[in-house]
Structure 1
Amino acid sequence: MPTTNMTKKHSTSFSLSRLSALIPLMLAMPGVAAVPSQDAQKAADYAVAHYQQAQIDTLKTLVGYDTRAREGLTPDTDPVFADFKRALGVKARMLGLDVEDHGYVMLISLSPEGAGANIKKVGVITHGDVQPADPSLWPQSPYELTETADGKLVGRGAEDDKGPIATALYAMKAIKDSGVVLKRRIELLVYMAEESDWDPLKAFLKTYQSADINITLDAEYPVVTGEKGWSQIKLTLPRVMVKVGADTPVLQYFAGGSFASQIPQQARAVIQNPNPELVAALKARAKALPIKTDFVDEPLGLTIHATGKAAHSSTPEDGINAVAYLAALLTPTADGSIPQWPMTTAAVTVDFLNSLVGTGLFGERFGKLGYSDEFMGPMTLAPTLITDAGDGVQVTLNLRRPVGRTPEALDKLAMAAIQGWQETKGTQVTDIETYWGTPMLIEDAPHLDTLLGVYGHYTNTPDPKPIAIGGSTNAKLFPNALSFGPAMPGVEYTGHSEYEFITRDQLKLNLEMYTAALVELAMRE
């Protein structure tokens, strides 16, 4: 996870874990969502008629830059980010928009004629950086936008968040072309480290005058008024050395995951001294699990490769956690066909995962840590990274917490669960770090009804309601910031996955809605 422990976002599958997140936000008491004005509808029609392909071409350019965080570099020093910003700035200027480069932040704006420095603004919040991608798990380079026969535009950042940037550019261009008389400046803010470090944005906001109404294009429709807090438990399980007979099966290695805010697609275990009965029992159990398993005889022993399905860690129900299910595969059986493993470091790791996490999504086994909120839904908990830490194995658990409990209470419950496991197993956990992000709940944003009206009109949805997500987006740092797309409710969000895409149809719909929404908001006094 990023150094500030604050990535994002999205709750996008209609599942049991999200039913409560679709309950109307009773506290907000939204009014009747208004149909967009004729000016807004005309500008939206113009946008899709003239700029649908152009936004795809621009998205292709933006995806071509591998804007992930690199060790020892920042967006100010990384030449890839310099090239990305240059390309983005050139495109924006070609569209007749104003551009300011503030290092970590680019501002791209459309101002009314004769606007002064103190004019009110509509803020549009996005980010230009992306999460890492494993090229071996993609059908082509993650940084080459390709289109499938069914209209999927595949590439890292296509949905999170370069697609929304491209759409916002052409929404602003269409508004400029339309001649609509604006009363506010539209200011697109593109931050370059949303996935890795929020501190530079916080520093920027100390001197930057934020708009009084903002939308973030980094989550889900209809409108997001609640975000869970990005949270983490990280700990080290000690290095353990054991001596066993040459015929005793030993679990010698266990690891998996790519980064902290992704449900891991891959995990691997190595067993020394396997016997035919053990291998047969493991293969039989594997058939009942949702992961793909490959058993490979190698010099170090039997290697088990587990392949699940990557997903954003805020929506663990959208993925298949290879780490959790591989640990479940290795659980000892009552008949001993899968044995009680000698307590190597790998075996201790598997026991920890099976004892305190399992294959559930909501911390059901983690003592009394799990809880739920009526609007935001349940806290989620997922093992996302298991890595060698030199002096042991580092386990990273990613959580998304709703309102309802304090960080102090959560810390106490988490430590009690870990302590209970230690006492039962006689194992000492070290270097325990916890972080409890702050949930966000916006109750009275002045533009909520406008956004709901735009969404309802363009999706033929009667009486749409605000929702909560597993989130943590930059919306938390801005006043009255509501997330508005780019993902549809009930559709799997693919950001952070190893097959990220957005469809042509979704880009078209986003362009309509973003254009209409910005016209409505920028015509306000």
Structure 2
Amino acid sequence: MNLEQKVEEMRDEIIGSTQEIIRLKSVKDSPKDEMPFGQDIHECFMHALNLSEKVGFKTKNIDNYGGHAEFGDGEEVVGVLVHLDVVPEGDNWTYPPYGGEIHDGKIYGRGTIDDKGPAVSALYAMKAIKESGLKLNKKIRIIFGLDEESGWDSLKYYLTKENAPDVAFTPDADFPAIHGEKGILIFDITKRFKKNYKDNGIKVLKIKGGNRPNMVPDYCEAHLISDSSIKEKLEAYKENNKIKLEIEEKEDTIIIKSYGVSAHGSLPEKGENAVSQLILFLNSLNLAEGDASDFIKLYSEKIGMEYYGESIGCGFKDDPSGNLIFNAGVIDLDEKGVKLTVNIRYPVTYTHTEVIEGMEKELKDTGFDIVVLENMDPIYLPKEHEVIQKLMKVYREFTGDDSEPITIGGGTYARSMENAVAFGPLFPGQPELAHQKDEYIEIEDLIKITKIYANALYELAK
């Protein structure tokens, strides 16, 4: 019996297991009682280990920081790197974000495509190989990470206790095989406010919006003080710019609410940045002079609605990976100061130092500082690399697509070790739904990627 037939036999199990794990909210939270990433993620991790044992694999829990399930013999290990944590769900879902509901042949929910659906797919791909009786020369191991969306402490800790696989792929990006990932730089643009308002213009008390640096913010609000109504200006601006703004005028303050569209931080053009929308509107008003209005002007001139960082001095690009990607993800401004958290994906032939130096040149003498929070260097494997060649062979045979390997702006677990790449689950031309409302996976795609992963794992482990 071939692997495709085995997967078809498990179709109902795969669908049901995906629904079950989607129903477990697993957003990172504060540590609690030996649960380093919070109780919700811990419960999802326990569920994954229990499911792995149920389908016939040996499991190992590494101090609740992560773990793995494996089978097979041999000294070498073929790894599948998955993560069980998800980004916050955001608002305005058509179906419950943790319902795992099926509508029109799709399973809806946070994590269906990033990365719980593919994790379940990889687990059942392993099961298909195990039950087929095919001879392997290597172990196959699925590694469960628990905070891929923020910090990677889980996998870092795991790799202090366990050796990295000899080769690996992560089902957490796109098809075909991905031979390069841009560098990821996360930083704050900050300033402590000292300058008092100088005139009777509109005063900005507060701006707050965004959930994570690697998400396009879908909501932001500003609190203002104004001597007169600004409702007419808002309505005119909203109409001219085709954006969603709402106003709530109270006796002592005016609240402006900006609604955008969430998207993955590596693909800001797929979303609508609620922070940028709001700040550009504020910049059109008669603001009182001061530090807050200086920031709003700076943001409007140096960031605006740009995706590639041109005006702030980091509009770099190269042939292998294209443009630098700039996402203003979270803002927190009050009368004491401002902190804008930005996520940048920079081309594979550049360094984070070059990116920072470019921005610092543009921000010179403005009083704004760049505080680096995290950097992940780019990864790049030649197309001729053995892992790339084997994965491409399986992909081309299964799909008939002769596309070449690609590079991406997303950051995956592939950059945590040598000889690892991202491989699926999104097929060329499909919409990018990770980190967006109404995230879903097509049931037929879930089954299809399980078949591809089964064949790919066998190709790497035989």
TM-score (norm 1): 0.82
Q: CA RMSD in A?
A: 2.3
Identity %: 27
Q: 1:197-208, aligned counterparts within 5 Å?
A: 197-208=151-162
Contact 2:137–2:461 (CA<8 Å) still a contact in 1?
A: yes
The within-5 A match list for 1:40-119 is 42-47=2-7, 49-73=8-32, 75-76=35-36, 78-102=38-62, 103-111=64-72, 115=73, 118-119=74-75
- Equivalent of residue 324 in structure 2, options 365, 369, 379: 379
Residue aligned with 2:149, SS: coil
d(CA) in 2 for partners of 1:177, 1:291: 54
Cα distance per residue 1:105-156 (max 9 Å; x no partner): 2211121xxx3xx52221111111112223x4334542221223x3332211
Instruction: Tell me the alpha carbon deviations over residues 161-190 of structure 1, each in whole angstroms, 9 at most, x when there is no partner.
Output: 111111111111111222212222111111
Residue type at the aligned position of 1:296: E
Inter-CA distance 250–207: structure 2 relative to 1 (3 Å threshold): closer
Letter aligned with residue 281 of structure 1: K
Correspondence for 1:425: none
Partner residue, 1:29: none
Q: Distance in 2 between matches of 1:342 and 1:389?
A: 15
Counterparts of 1:172-321 in structure 2 under 5 Å? 172-239=126-193, 240-242=195-197, 244-245=199-200, 248-273=201-226, 275=228, 278-321=230-273
User: Tell me, what secondary structure is at the counterpart of 2:283?
Assistant: coil
Whether the aligned pair in 2 keeps the contact of 1:357 and 1:366 (CA below 8 Å) is yes
Paired position in structure 2 for 1:121? 77
Q: Bigger shift: 287-296 or 430-439?
A: 430-439
Q: What residue is the counterpart of 1:457 in the other structure?
A: 397
Could you list the per-position Cα deviations for residues 448-481 of structure 1 after superposition, in whole angstroms to 9, with x for gaps in the alignment? 22211222233221x2211011021111112211
Distance 1:200 1:146, change over 3 A: closer
Instruction: Give the corresponding residue for 1:521.
Output: 460
Contact kept in structure 2, 1:75 and 1:192, CA below 8 Å: no
| Contact residue 223 and residue 452 of structure 1 kept, 8 A | yes
- CA shift for structure 1 position 361: 0.4
- In 1: Cα distance, 2:11 partner to 2:138 partner: 25
Q: Deviations over 1:177-220 (max 9, x none)?
A: 22212222111111112122324423432442322221111111
Is the counterpart of residue 488 in structure 1 residue 427 in structure 2? yes
Post-superposition offset of 1:293: 1.7
CA distance in 1, matches of 2:208, 2:168: 41
- State whether structure 2 residue 89 is matched by structure 1 residue 133: yes
Per-residue deviation, 1:430 = 4.9
Give the structure-2-normalised TM-score. Answer: 0.92
Structure 1, gaps ≥5 residues long = 1-38, 333-337, 423-427
Residue 288 of structure 2 corresponds to 342
Shift of 1:374: 0.5
Contact 1:229 1:437 in 2 (8 A): yes
More RCO (CA 8 Å, sep 6+): 1
Q: Is the 8 A contact 1:282 1:330 kept in 2?
A: no
User: What is the letter of the counterpart of residue 46 of structure 1?
Assistant: K
